[in-house]
Amino acid sequence: MKYDTVVIGAGLGGLMAALSAAERGKKTLVVSRGMGIITIFSGTIDILGYYPVQDTAPLSSPREGVERLISEDPKHPYARVGVEALEKGMSFFQEAVAREGVTYVGNLDRNFLVPTAVGTIKPTAFLSKRMEAGDVREESDVLIAGFRGLKDFYPAYMAHNISTSTVPGVSIPHFRGRVLDVDIGADGSGMSALTLARKMEEDAMIQAIGRALFCQVRDGERIALPAVLGIRGGDEVFRRLEDMAGTRIFETPTLPPSVTGYRLYRALESRVRASGIRLLIGYDVHDPEIRGGRVAAVNISMGKKTKRIEGDTFVLATGGLVGRGIITDRKSTLEPIFGLPVSGPSRRNEWFAERFFDPSGHPINKIGLEVDDRLRPTGDGKKHVYENLFACGAELAGYAALREKSGGGVTIASGFKAGRLAGEL
């Protein structure tokens, strides 16, 4: 089989790369072992929350933060991607998911400050429209409503702890927690957020919850709910509940598996299919064939069946340590498909800081592939290893996504740019 562009990995970065390559008219394939880690995480797209990373006050303008970061930290992926690709990539992302009924709001010039399920406050630049009303700078008080029998969401915990959270210059409104007296059909084993989100598509459930909310909510209060308002894109469940409750509602992401992440993945996946991109999930990618400084083909296997895939360009979007784009053992670190040089500490006793919550992060957080300005992995000589191999997302070296709150931004921007460059070659 032969494609113009072969994207390895079906996470946020891989799907963005595929969409932007396909937009250039390229015949594109996405091949992946699994469906990426979007479904695990909260579905917010962080651009830059803190800079310098040790700062305790969130950045008000991600754009200004990124510009400063690019001038001060040339090894950061944002320095390779550039603000322009970040801005275009985010618009491209918003349009892509909007066409599948999932609305993301936000821009580079401000961070939302949204409450988390443990009552901390997190800066993030783009989020599902269903989370927008949660910004703690809004003055109105908040009713946090949970459900008896739903696992992993505790209104009292969230409310109690948010009263102790502080953000410089922000006066946080009052939050109170209530467990709604609604029968969600839990069987005592603890219902997962995904199951409840599916049930929320039923009319009777919307009616029951809408009524319960209307009874509980006080004048002037907003309502926080766990992120369970429907499993599909489209805002019907959300809008009907807001109408019935008579006030604004926002969703709060819960422990994995995450409904917001799931909706985002489904939207991107269906956009990818609608764009004529072939999507192969469940395949191991191995044994690349190299000819004249270029990747000519890769082999893919499911069980004992192996196929050879030729391509003009390849995008490596296999993720970082969680996605297994980088693997480790007791003695070493490795990029397992191409054996590309991995940047970062190789010796195990240098991988971690002494404290789990070390504000600068663990050295291993920054492990990954170094790339040139065209996002091609470089060897020790700073020259690209293969002319037609690009990399994006968590696989890139040089950033501490979780502490900077930059994961989504780096992944979308680098995925978008890698796909465009691959599509232009």
Partner 1 sequence: MELKTEVLVIGGGVTGAGVARDLVMRGIDTILVEKGDLAAGATGRCHGLLHSGGRYVIKDQESAVECIKENVILKRIASRTIEDTGGLFVSLPGDDESYADRFLAACDAAGIQTQVLSLSQALRLEPNLSREAKTVVKVPDGAVDPFALTIDNARDAARRGCRILRHTKLVGIDVEKGRVTGAEVHDRVTDERHHIRTKRIINATGAWAGHVAGLAGANVPLTLSKGSLLIFNRRINNTVINRLRPPGDGDIIVPNEPTSIIGTTSITVSDPENFTVTKKEVDLMMKEAGLVLPPSAEARVIRAYAGIRPLVAAQDADSGRDISRSFSILDHGKQDGVRGFYSIVGGKLTTYRLMAEKMVDVVAEEMGVHIPCSTASEPLFGSEDGEHYRLEDRFTSIETVEEGEEQEGKVEEIVCECELVTKDEVLKVINEMKTSNLNDIRQRTRVGMGSCQGGFCTYRLLGILHELDMVPQYEANEILTSFMEERWRGIRPVLWGDQLREEQLVEGIYLGIFALDKIQPLGKKASKSKK
Interface segment toward partner 1; rule CB under 8 A; list 79-87, 100-108, 231-239, 398-406: 398-406
Considering the complex, state which of residue 116 and residue 388 has its C-beta at the smaller distance from partner 1: 116
Q: Are strands 121-124 and 112-115 parallel, antiparallel or unpaired?
A: antiparallel
- Residues within window 259-318 making contact with partner 1, judged by CB under 8 A: none
> How many Å apart are CA 404 and CA 123, to the nearest integer?
10
For position 383 contacting partner 1 by CB under 8 A, the verdict is: no
Residue of the chain from 275, 351, 363, 378 that contacts partner 1 (CB under 8 A): 351
**Binding track, positions 54-93, relative to partner 1; x by CB under 8 A:** --x-------------------------------------
Say how far apart CA 256 and CA 153 lie, in whole Å. 11
Minimum distance from CB of 61 to partner 1 (Å)? 19
Nearer to partner 1, 377 or 408 (CB): 408
What 8-state DSSP symbol labels residue 32? E
> If DSSP codes are grouped into helix, strand and coil, which group holds residue 61?
coil
CB of 56 to partner 1, least distance (A): 5
Work out whether 105 is an interface residue with partner 1 (CB under 8 A): no
Q: Is the peptide bond before 257 cis (omega within 30 degrees of 0)?
A: yes
Applying CB under 8 A, which of residues 355, 381, 382, 383 lies at the interface with partner 1?
A: 355
What is the smallest separation between the CB atom of 364 and partner 1, expressed in angstroms? Answer: 8
DSSP string, 283-349: -EEEEEEEETTEEEEEEEEETTEEEEEEEEEEEE---STTTTSSEE-SS-EE-TTT-PPPBS--SGG
Q: Which is nearer to partner 1, 255 or 425 (CB)?
A: 255
Give the nearer residue to partner 1 in terms of CB position, either 1 or 118. 118
Q: Provide the minimum distance between the beta carbon of 33 and partner 1 in the complex, in angstroms, as a whole number.
A: 13
189, 218, 291, 381: which one binds partner 1 (CB under 8 A): 189
171 contacts partner 1 (rule: CB under 8 A): no
Using CA atoms, how far apart are residues 418 and 425, in angstroms rounded to an integer? 11
- Report phi then psi at 124, rounded to 5: -155, 150
Cβ contacts of 397 within 8 Å, gap of 6 or more? 75, 77, 342, 343, 344, 366, 367, 368, 369, 370
Does 187 help bind partner 1 (rule: CB under 8 A)? yes
* H helix or E strand, kind and range, residue 92: helix 83-98
The three state secondary structure string of 229-295 is CCCCCCCHHHHHHHHHHCCCEEEECCCCCCHHHHHHHHHHHHHHHHCCCEEEECCEEEEEEEECCEE
320 is an interface residue for partner 1 by CB under 8 A? yes
Which of the residues 109 through 168 are near partner 1 (CB under 8 A)?
116-122, 151-154, 156-157, 160-161, 164
User: Which helix H or strand E contains 146, and what residues bound it?
Assistant: strand 142-147
Q: Which of 168, 169, 188, 292 binds partner 1 (CB under 8 A)?
A: 188
Q: How far is the CB of 266 from partner 1 (least distance, A)?
A: 19
Query: Rounded distance, CA 209 to CA 160, Å?
Result: 23
- Which of 117/297 has CB closer to partner 1? 117
Residue 59 DSSP class: P
Q: Which of 32, 128, 195, 258 binds partner 1 (CB under 8 A)?
A: 258
Q: Residue numbers of the site for partner 1 (CB under 8 A)?
A: 37, 40-42, 56, 116-122, 151-154, 156-157, 160-161, 164, 179, 187-190, 253-256, 258, 320-322, 324, 327-330, 348-349, 351-352, 354-357, 359, 364, 402-403, 405, 407
